[in-house]
Every structure is written in structure tokens, then in C-alpha cells.
Structure 1
Amino acid sequence: MRNLTKIGGAAAIAAALALTACGGGGTPTGPETAKGQGTGSDLAKLISINEKPAADLEPGGKVTLPLGSIGPDFNGFSNNGNSSDNSAMMAPINPVAVNSGGIGGCWKVDFVGKATPNKDFCESVESKVVDGKQTVTIKVNDKATYNDGTPIDIKAFQNTWNILKSPDAGYDIVSSGAYEFVESVEAGSSDKEIIVKTTQPVYPVDSLFFGLIHPAVNTPAIFNEGFVGEMHPEWMAGPFKVDQYDAAAKTVTMVPNDKWWGTKPVLESVVFRQLETSAQIAAFKNGEIDAMSANTIALYKQLEGTKDSEVRRGQRLFAGGMNINAQKITDVAVREAIFAAVDREALRKVRFNGLNWEEPSSGSMMVLPFSDYYQDNYPVKETGADVAKKVLTDAGYAPNAAGIMEKDGKPAAFKISNFGDDPTTLAFTQTLQKQLQAGGMDVGIDQRASADFGKVIGGRDFDMSVSGYTVGPDSTDAVKQYYDSKVNENGLGDAELDKKIADLASIEDNAERNKAAMEVEKEHMAKYFSMGVVMNGPQISFVRTGLANYGPSLFQSLSQVPDWSTLGWIKK
């Protein structure tokens, strides 16, 4: 499942694992780390986490990190809770359920995107296909238990399947994913052995049970409404636990979980604070927070030279820029005109100005340009104001007295929702606005606080937003989430495309399956024009000197923390 995220510099902290640390406090390091990588490149250039073994870290200590929003819905499986900020915050306290990024339920992902069983929860996962039927056998860790004492066993797996298998059961799920192809989930030799049978083979196997839902979350009312303002730490399991959630102060404090059976964390506490971008700048400079994203030049310049800090650079796992609500902008001709009016290169110049960053033209919502599976699926090859006006003219629009293209007395008019107070992000939105206005559309800006992001986007209270989604290493889940007519939030698609999506899930060969997914995206974009890919972008993090195992880490972590047990401070 892909998480919603803002385009701006401080939308969410990302995760970290791995290879190198970038220099301290000044200019971003060399050209190789300032360029989006193409197919076959060395992805190690996109990772920077100051990797250290736990033995080199000071026991105890506290790390404080910012988020653009905390809640208000803490159910990451629901549309209202589906945000990168939510996933980042839940990673240390509820990895059994975090269903995107580098860890979730039965699976963990390394920095290049390879999934292996997460043995804290699932010791082994074996798949066999006989006569076209697949059987997946999962051995659950005997010690795996929720904070309230409920065993993580067959009941959790059955509950997860029952909730996620269909969007028609009353649960406000983001996507049914591969669960619609699951025929049964039964106990094997014990409640800790899970036997999953499917109606057709499902690939990749890690698309199943990448996140588990507590058995107590077993009605639409609990699932859809029960997490609004309520974190329910008793239904979690992870190396940390919630010590305090202060809704008024907009902070969540976490401490080591005495019930955790896995590796004990180095830190004695983790604090997440909800802060607007401008407040994050002041907090980092004052030593109140220990890291923040600076993915725009305005942020970078304000943080540059901060005492006891260093810069860590890599690739941001993001695709998007134009998220169109087709339930508000209902005419496909207007949506096509939006795509036609946009100058993506000009927008990227505004967004990346001064950041020493180049990237290929991004054209897929599902994978990044360095992927072997990538292809540019942007549906409009010729763009510009005249092209956009021609699209509208051909659809029966004509300019009114104000020069706005209009049809049957209804102008092509809408607003772009912009989140947060970062000036570069606003400049991006204003540039986009001018491009669309030049194409004959009446376009305003709906300015919102970062804290409103989940509520506005999850509640579909926007016409078009400057936002996008996190990107994973494989497109199989994403193609269904974005383009299946029964699943995507716009309800756009058709039976032919839905069948192609269902069929591709059973293709075992990774390259063949992803090629099929790419063709679906290409066809859907050219028919329905709902998700506009403008950019991917860098992940540039300012980090307190001495913080180890934190920073851009590709697919290993959405929170820039590849392993929460080894996040900590280097011994002095």
C-alpha cells in the first residue's frame, strides 16, 4: 500500500539504514549524491545514514523528531489514516501493523527493496503452487504477542483477511490488494501455523500480510471511527510503546516496550512533535528536535550552518505533484487539459532550484526511474497553454467574457490545495496555477496547514492537491490501489483494465508482471487523467551530529530509521 504524502520539504521524516554519512553543516556533497539515478546505477549513492553498530552507541538517550501531522485518525489501513506521517510515527511502536515502508507484519525490506520474513513476527513464509492453486504456509514467532496479551496468531491473520479482502464490506480500506484472491486462512498444526490458500497464484508473496490487524478491530465502526483521536496502544506490538499522547501539545512520547521479545532498543525515549515547517526550522536550530527534512532551497538555506548538525542526502521515495479529485473535477476533458497545460520541467526547476539535484523526467506513480521496470507513462507528449485550450475547445468549451474556457455556462474552475508554510512549495503551487490559468482555466489556491493534510486528503475535501504517494520497489499493489475502478478513490477505470490488474497479480516473473502493470498505468492515465507525475526529488535531511543509523535509506524505511533498535547517539 502506498501512503499519501505532501510534496513539500517537511511533510514527513523518512527512514534510514545504511551506508554513508554526508558532510557536516554546509554544502551538499558531490554530484553523485545530487542526482536521481537511472536504471542499473549504484543505489548506494542514494543512502546516507551514518551506520554504526549498537556497541558503538551510548546506552539511553532521547531522540525528538518532527511530523507535519499527528493523526487525527491513527488507523493506517483506512483512507483517513493513510499518510506517510502516520506510518513514520507508528514504525517504532507498531511494526506488526505498519503496512508500507520498510517493515510491516510478516515482512521487512532492505534498501534495494528485497523483502524477507520479519522473524520478530513471522519466522518463515513458504509458498507452493500445485495445479494452479497456491498454498502459503507461515510460521509465526511463538513469542509474538500484542501489548494487551493477545497472541499474534491465526485470529489476527483471519481478521486481516476478512477486513481487507473487499471494499464492499463496509470497511474504509485503501485497497484490497491481493486479499481478494485469498480463498481461505486456516490454522495448521497450531494457531501459530497459518495456512493460506488462494484462488489464483499471488505475486509477490510479500503482498500478503505486510501488516496485521488486531482481532479486536473487527467491525466497520471500530475500523472506520475507533482510531479517531485514539491510538489504542493495547492493540500494538513493537520495540517501543506509547508513554504519552498529548493531543493539546501535539506530541507523542515513546519508551522501550517491556513486553517486546525482540532486540531491545538503545534509546530510552523517542518523541514525535507536530510542527509546521517554520516551527521545525526554529526547533532544529534551537536543539529541540534532532532532524528535519530540507527538501527545498528555502528550508536548506535557513538551516545551513546550524551548529552541531550535518547534511545527509539521498533519494526521496515520492511520486506525484498533481493529485486530482475526479469527484470534484468530473469532466475528463478538464483533467486532460490540466495535464496538457503543465510544464513539468519548469515546475521541477522551481522545486529543485539551488538544491544541486537533477533527475530524469518522472513519469510513473508506481516506481522510480532507477527501477528496471520504469517507463514514462505521462499521457500528454505535447504540452502548453495552446494545447490545453485545444483540448477544451475540442470538448465543446469556448472562452467567456473573462477569457475562461466555459461549457454550457459552467467554467473550467477549481482550486489547488497547498499544505504548510514552506515558500518553495508555495512557489511551486503558484507556478502550477499560472500554467493552468494560461491554459484557459480559472484556478485559485486553497491554502491549508500541514496538520490538516490527512483530514483534507483522506476526506476528499479538495479539487486538486499538490501531493503524491510514497513509492515502493514493485508496482503490483500500487497498480491496484491507483487504477482499479473498484478500489481507487476516484472510482475511475473500467472492466477491461480491472481484469488486466487482476490477471497480472498471478504473473510470477517480476519483470513480466511489472511490465504488465506499467501498461495498465499507461492506458489508465491516457483515458482518465487523475494522477499527474511531476517529480520525485531528493531526500535532504539535516541531522544532529552524532546521531547514528538515521537518514535517507531508500526502501528500508519510510521514517529514515532502518532499525529502531539501533537508532541512537555515538559514544563520546
Structure 2
Amino acid sequence: MPVALIAAISVTATACESSSGDGAGTEAGSTPAAASGAADYHPTPYDKLKDGGTYTTAGTFDDQGNPFHVNGTLQATRVWAWYNANAITFSPTGEVRYNPDYFSDVKVSVEGGDQKVVLTINEKAVFNDGTPIDWTAIKATWKANNGSDEDYAASTTDQYRQITGVGRGKNDKQAVITFKGVNASWPSLFTTFLHPKAAKVDNFNKAYVKKAHPEWGAGPYTVGKWDTHSGNITFVRNPKWWGRKGRLVKRVYVNLEQTAQVNAFKNGQLDSVTAVDAESLKQLKGLKGTEIRSGGSPFVYSLYFNAKSAVLGDKAVRKAIQESVDRSQLAKIQFQGLDYGEPLPGSALLYSFQKGYADNVSAVLKYGPDRAKKELDAAGWKPGSDGIRAKDGKQLEVGYTMVGDEPLDKATAGALAAMLKPVGVRLSVKKADPADWAGIVNERKFDLIISGNRSMDPFGARYLCETYCSDSDSGLTGAGSPELDKEIRATSDIADPDKQTAAANKVERKALQDYARLPLYSGPSTYSVKKGLANVGATIFYNPLPETVGWEK
């Protein structure tokens, strides 16, 4: 999905976290050197699963169901994967795995400094409408995402732009992809692909809005019921599937508010549920016939600053606010009762359990409210009689959009307001309905907001432009410059992945000096799951193939 990643697909934060740069994630002395890289999902071979059963969780479709679209979300990616191709996946730690049901052979070579990838597509592979899956699907996916046609609202284009062509190989079932230079992260571009009809611009942008198109899909499951009234979804076995049949008879999403999900699990209506905070974990622990599965998380939640808003257009104000945010205190709020700790995240690209990670936040930012006061003084923001600063007759009041109404949301908003008030900044908390979240961030209707991204693949450097380029449709902040964009894009031409990561870290440190995004926390992935449910839980970079999800014999 974007391919690979939705790499960082935006999701609403259920709470907040911390990070100053020089603070700890939990109590002093207890912070581990790296965030957890553990996976916990009861891995079970296909032949050990029984034939039959239903798997039900909370969930629904998002407004935009095309994961390649700039408005695609993590939930859209997860739903898409149940009725579309999962051609390339990754192990929990990020090793590439090719699915022979789609790509029967993959060859990568470098000639004259340029990379060539030859994908041989399974002879049996066919879309549900009868269209053969062949080289034209790979070409159509590339064309829709390479930025050559600006009418496509694609999530990420830079890596696709490095492809110079997609051609027919020895027959229609072979796609030859040629690159300018070498691209070590190319598998992330084709983890899934589009039906040529779905890749037409109008369909790409609009066809999946609150709709499914099972006829353009392919895989062990297809849509059984897509209920736009209730928001529920049911996937059933696909009679047109050529590979191993899905172990489950049905995969069901039930549209439930967060507050109702734990009770639904306790009542047996759901087979697994996320423990989002200490209270839900307390309720879920020890339930008969269930178990807790907890591991690391390829998420990073950040505090985003709208650099186009009236007050936050002043970089001095953004920097002062970041220096006033005690990320470690926010982390304590978030992780209280979870028996979890992590160092404060130093990057929006890589996680501390990954090779090549660097704490780029600490390199450019230190927690220091006193320093922030002096910088605001120098920028002309003077304290008033009520302690709130003003400049040119306007008080320094900043809006904070709180998405949701959970106790952690409120605690985070209150903590942020308490941190900023002594510095002379009034935080005005504005409550928003989670259903409005996509519109708020995509139309930049906020001053400050917390949002999270999940990396769907381990190639963090690949998302440098998507994250920080000034002209990126995925950039929430509006910060950056054409000059920095050039430096960012130059990193994509570095063939050696280790050198590319090192260069990306260097450029990220420059981008962070726009003070428009502050990484706050990752947190654990914790689930309560009915015993016997296999290949479900904390998977890090691994997305189990749909046919391998099921119940033990």
C-alpha cells in the first residue's frame, strides 16, 4: 500500500506521550535502552489450524478505502488486506517475504549502476472479475503513484518516481521494473497492487470512498457483506482463490465505539481487543479462556504544529512550545499501570529497536522552559498582567485539538496546558469527534494535534520525504522549504541502505529544526485474545496472510 507502508499511516492517538530529548520514558533508572522489539502473536503453522470458525473484532471501513490514497488510514489498510493481494510481507523484524501465490519468482540485478527487478507472476493469479493479474497491474500501480499525473491524490510518490519503466517480460505474466540507480526498499512499493481499472484516476481517488470493490480484489477472502448503515463488514472465503483456502469461514468487523469494545470482548462478542490503557488492561487481565499478548509497536505518535496557522507561523513560538513540553511527564501519564517503559523516541523514521536508529530529537532540542521564556522575550512576546504573553495586541493563545474524550485524552490535554501556562502560552483545548479526524488533519484545521503513524515496513528512510517535504500531501504541518526538499530527495538516490539511513538521519535533524513535529511515544501493542486464536497479536512489521489466521486444532 502505499504499499508498503502506509508507512505511516495516520491514526488518531488515544492519548499522549512524551519526549523532550533529554528525559526518560518512565521512572528514573527504569527506562530500557530501546523500545521493545518483541513479537507476541501465537505463531502457528497453517496445518495446525482447524478448518472453520469465525474471527470477530471491532472495526469498520474508513471514508477512503484505497490505501494508496493520501487519505488512506491504518484501518483502511487492514480492511484492504482481507480482500486484496498480500504479495510481499515482512517478518516481525523486517525480513522480506515473497508470497508465491502472487509472485512465483523474484529476481533483482544491478547493471551499470541501475537496478532491475523481474517479477514472475503466478500463472493462476487472477482478479475476481476474471482479469488476469499480469504485468499491467504492476505498471498501473506504478503510474498511479509516481507523481507524473497530479490528478492522482497519491500518498507517497518519491520512491515510485525512481522507477524509469515497467515493461512486459517474456510474457504477460512477467513484469520488468527498471530503476534509476538502486533502491534497496523496492519491496515496499509492491506489497499489494491495483487492478488496472482501480488505477484509473477517478476510481483511484473516489471509487473506494465508503465502498468496497471486491470485483477488483484477489485473495483467499472476498466481501460477504459491506453494511454502510451499521458499518459492519463480513469477509467470506473466495471461491475464485487459487491458493490455500482460508482457515476461517468468516472474518467479521463490528463497528463499536472504543468504550464498548472491552465489554463486547468480555461478553464473548469479540475474539480479540486492544488494551489501550491501564484501565482496559486491568479489566482484561485474567479473563477465563483468554490471554494477554503484548510486544513492541511500529508506531510513533507525534505532536504536530500547524506552521500555516496565524500564531504557529512564528518558528520561535513553535520552538518555545517544544522546549516547554516535558515529554517524560506525558509518558508517565500514558504508560501508567501498563508495566511498560521505553526511551523517548528520537525519530519519526526508525524505532530504537532498529539498526541505524539515531536520537535525532535530542540532537536539536532540549527540554527547557526557562530558555523558552527568554526566546519568547526575544521574539517580542511579552508577559501580560495575567501571565499570558502578547505581541502587537494579540495574546499568545494556541488551540489544541483533542480527538476523543477518554480519560487519557483529557489528562494529556490538561498536562500540556499546565506545561505551557508558566511559559506564558494559553492552551485552548478543543474537543473533536473521532469521525471528523481525517478532515481536521487533511484540511489542517488545527493549531496543535497529536496523531500517530504506523510503519508497515522496516524501510524508514524511504519515508523521509513523505514525512518532511514541504510539498508532501501527507505532511500535516506545512513546514519545510524547497531547499530542504532537495536534500531530502537526494537521500533516495543512495544505493547502500546503511549509508542511506545515515544520510536520512542527518537530514531529519535539519527537518526537526523547523520545530513543527515532536515525536512523543510509541508504546506497546497489547491485546487480549481468546486462547487458541493463532497468528493474531503484537506482530511488529509482520502482517500474517489472511489464510493463516484461524483457530488451533
The answer to whether TM tops 0.5 is yes
| Cα distance in 2, alignment partners of residues 397 and 85 from structure 1 | 42
Q: Larger deviation: 247-256 or 398-407?
A: 398-407
Unaligned runs of 5+ residues in structure 1 are 11-33, 97-103
| Cα distance in 1, alignment partners of residues 39 and 254 from structure 2 | 25
Output aligned runs, 1:469-488, within 5 Å: 469-471=453-455, 472-487=457-472, 488=474
* Number of equivalences: 528
Partner of 1:351: 334
Please state how far the C-alpha of 1:554 moved relative to its aligned partner: 1.2
Moved segments of 4+, more than 4 Å: 34-37
CA distance 1:421–1:311, change in 2 (3 Å): farther
CA distance 1:226–1:394, change in 2 (3 Å): farther
Q: Larger deviation: 169-178 or 497-506?
A: 497-506
Partner of 2:230: 249
Partner of 1:48: 40
Is contact 2:65-2:77 (8 Å) kept? no
Partner of 2:118: 137
Please state how far the C-alpha of 1:441 moved relative to its aligned partner: 2.0
Q: Larger deviation: 257-266 or 53-62?
A: 53-62
CA distance 1:458–1:79, change in 2 (3 Å): farther
Partner of 2:480: 493
CA distance 1:464–1:315, change in 2 (3 Å): same
Is contact 1:203-1:505 (8 Å) kept? no
Which one-letter code corresponds to 1:566 in the other structure?
T
Q: Tell whether 2:540 aligns with 1:566.
A: no
| Cα distance in 2, alignment partners of residues 391 and 145 from structure 1 | 62
Partner of 2:20: none
CA distance 1:126–1:438, change in 2 (3 Å): farther
Which one-letter code corresponds to 1:570 in the other structure?
E
Is contact 2:66-2:80 (8 Å) kept? no
| Cα distance in 1, alignment partners of residues 75 and 299 from structure 2 | 13
| Cα distance in 1, alignment partners of residues 186 and 352 from structure 2 | 24
Output aligned runs, 1:74-93, within 5 Å: 74-81=65-72, 83-93=73-83
Unaligned runs of 5+ residues in structure 2 are 1-6, 17-29
Partner of 1:522: 509
| Cα distance in 1, alignment partners of residues 82 and 464 from structure 2 | 28
| Cα distance in 2, alignment partners of residues 548 and 47 from structure 1 | 13
Is contact 2:294-2:527 (8 Å) kept? yes
- Taking structure 2 as the reference length, what is the TM-score of the superposition? 0.89
Partner of 2:430: 446
1:543 to 515, 518, 529: 529
Partner SS, residue 434 of structure 1: helix
Which one-letter code corresponds to 1:60 in the other structure?
G
Is contact 2:124-2:242 (8 Å) kept? yes
Partner of 1:4: 10
Q: Tell whether 2:446 aligns with 1:462.
A: yes
CA distance 1:116–1:547, change in 2 (3 Å): closer
| Cα distance in 1, alignment partners of residues 124 and 98 from structure 2 | 16
Which one-letter code corresponds to 2:14 in the other structure?
G
CA distance 1:382–1:568, change in 2 (3 Å): same
Which one-letter code corresponds to 1:79 in the other structure?
V
Q: Tell whether 2:354 aligns with 1:364.
A: no
| Cα distance in 2, alignment partners of residues 520 and 302 from structure 1 | 44
Please state how far the C-alpha of 1:173 moved relative to its aligned partner: 1.4
Cα deviation, 1:151-178, whole Å, max 9, x if unaligned, reads 2222212221211111761211121031
Which one-letter code corresponds to 1:520 in the other structure?
V
| Cα distance in 2, alignment partners of residues 366 and 357 from structure 1 | 22
2:321 to 328, 333, 338: 338
Please state how far the C-alpha of 1:372 moved relative to its aligned partner: 1.9
Cα deviation, 1:337-356, whole Å, max 9, x if unaligned, reads 22111101101011001111
Is contact 1:340-1:384 (8 Å) kept? yes
Is contact 1:285-1:307 (8 Å) kept? no
Partner of 2:401: 417
Q: Larger deviation: 321-330 or 258-267?
A: 321-330
Partner of 2:541: 555
Partner of 1:28: none
1:436 to 420, 424, 432: 420
Partner of 2:498: 511
Which one-letter code corresponds to 1:181 in the other structure?
Q
Partner SS, residue 304 of structure 2: strand
Is contact 2:247-2:549 (8 Å) kept? yes
Please state how far the C-alpha of 1:318 moved relative to its aligned partner: 0.8
Q: Tell whether 2:214 aligns with 1:233.
A: yes
Output aligned runs, 1:44-123, within 5 Å: 46-67=38-59, 70-81=61-72, 83-94=73-84, 96=85, 104-105=86-87, 107-123=88-104
CA distance 1:234–1:393, change in 2 (3 Å): farther
Is contact 1:48-1:314 (8 Å) kept? yes
- Taking structure 1 as the reference length, what is the TM-score of the superposition? 0.86
| Cα distance in 1, alignment partners of residues 413 and 241 from structure 2 | 45
Q: Tell whether 2:369 aligns with 1:385.
A: yes
Partner of 1:38: 34
Partner of 1:26: none
Partner SS, residue 255 of structure 1: strand
CA distance 1:323–1:147, change in 2 (3 Å): farther
Please state how far the C-alpha of 1:544 moved relative to its aligned partner: 1.4
Partner of 2:21: none
Partner of 1:376: 359
Output aligned runs, 1:159-178, within 5 Å: 159-166=140-147, 169-178=150-159
CA distance 1:503–1:150, change in 2 (3 Å): same
| Cα distance in 1, alignment partners of residues 481 and 409 from structure 2 | 35
Partner of 2:518: 532
Partner of 2:3: none
Partner SS, residue 555 of structure 1: coil
| Cα distance in 2, alignment partners of residues 55 and 9 from structure 1 | 40
Is contact 1:36-1:538 (8 Å) kept? no
Partner SS, residue 298 of structure 1: helix
Please state how far the C-alpha of 1:541 moved relative to its aligned partner: 0.6
CA distance 1:142–1:390, change in 2 (3 Å): farther
